[in-house]
Chain A
Amino acid sequence: MNRWSWWLAGVAGALGFAFLYLALIWSPPEQQMGDLVRIMYFHVASAWTALCAFFVTFVAALGLLLRGGERWDVVSACSAEIGLVYTTITLVTGSLWARPIWNTWWTWDPRLTTTLILWFLYAGYLLLRATLTGFERRAKISAAYAIIAFIDVPIIHMSVTWWRSIHPSVVDDSGFHMPPSMAGTLMFGFLSFFLLYLLLLWLRARGAWQKLEILRLGQAVRGLRLREERGR
């Protein structure tokens, strides 16, 4: 890690602690949910961060196809992985929130359903990458998939919403209007999560770059050995 990333890590850590304080202590409890409303800050912030991460994956995939270059591919893949981590956090915290509030671990609420589909979409993306052979091919094919998957997300959300709203719905999640203190906490949480995301993206991309470097060096070593054998 270089000096910049330590600074970034320090700021992200400080913001994280401030966010914990704001979310758990400073912000007011809600009328009906009481203190459980505090789950919302973590849940919603991670959901937004995940969406941002997938958007970055989409943009990087476009960049790869239009401009070319390994960097786009690395960013696309790393962002998808972090997005998947945040989607997992969103799903788990959502479930932990739904249990005390709605008395169930899972409901077929449109947003929940879309999030789970999102999880599968990007888990599929990472598996696709992991099993594709050949560098160039892996970059191009996974970029094509990333573009289709991201464009599909709003269609999925729309269809799931229609599906559930036409049906009688057990849970009414029309939402509640937030006082400024809650909205502020939420925005602060989102910012601190987003900063963390940037840090993770940097870390993860560095690892991916190291891996590429190792592969190149390995090839160089093999080439040298071959030359040596021929020279003999």
Chain B
Amino acid sequence: MQHLGFLWAVSAVVWGGTLIYVFTLLRRQNQLQAELERLKGAVADWEGVRSGGDASGSR
């Protein structure tokens, strides 16, 4: 029953490390998703503007 601190450290590294990695992945993906929505919206707007015959191109 010696050096049990090392055992706790290992458990913390394994699960902490995995959790941190998962959270960074999720956060990055949420950002990407937002960016994706924005771009899709932009494309849709654009096409809507063009088909509406408005040639001012305000965007």
**Residue with the highest number of chain A CB atoms closer than 10 Å, among B15, B32, B47:** B32
How many positions in chain A have a CB within 8 Å of any CB in the partner chain?
A: 37
Q: Is the CB of A207 within 8 A of B46?
A: no
Q: Is the CB of B2 within 8 A of A93?
A: no
Among A35, A93, A99, contact of B14 (Cβ-Cβ < 8 Å): A93
Interface residues of B, dominant DSSP: helix
Cα–Cα distance between A100 and B54 once the two chains are bound (Å): 74
* A24 interface hit (Cβ, 8 Å): yes
Instruction: Say whether, besides A39-B6, A99-B6, A214-B35, A88 and B25 are in contact (CB < 8 Å).
Output: no
Contacts of B50 in A (CB 8 A): 228
Contacts of A188 in B (CB 8 A): none
Cα–Cα distance between A34 and B26 once the two chains are bound (Å): 38
Among B17, B28, B35, contact of A85 (Cβ-Cβ < 8 Å): B17
Name which residue of chain B comes closest to A38, CB basis.
B7
Q: List 5 A-B contacts (CB under 8 A).
A: A36-B7, A88-B17, A99-B6, A210-B32, A232-B55
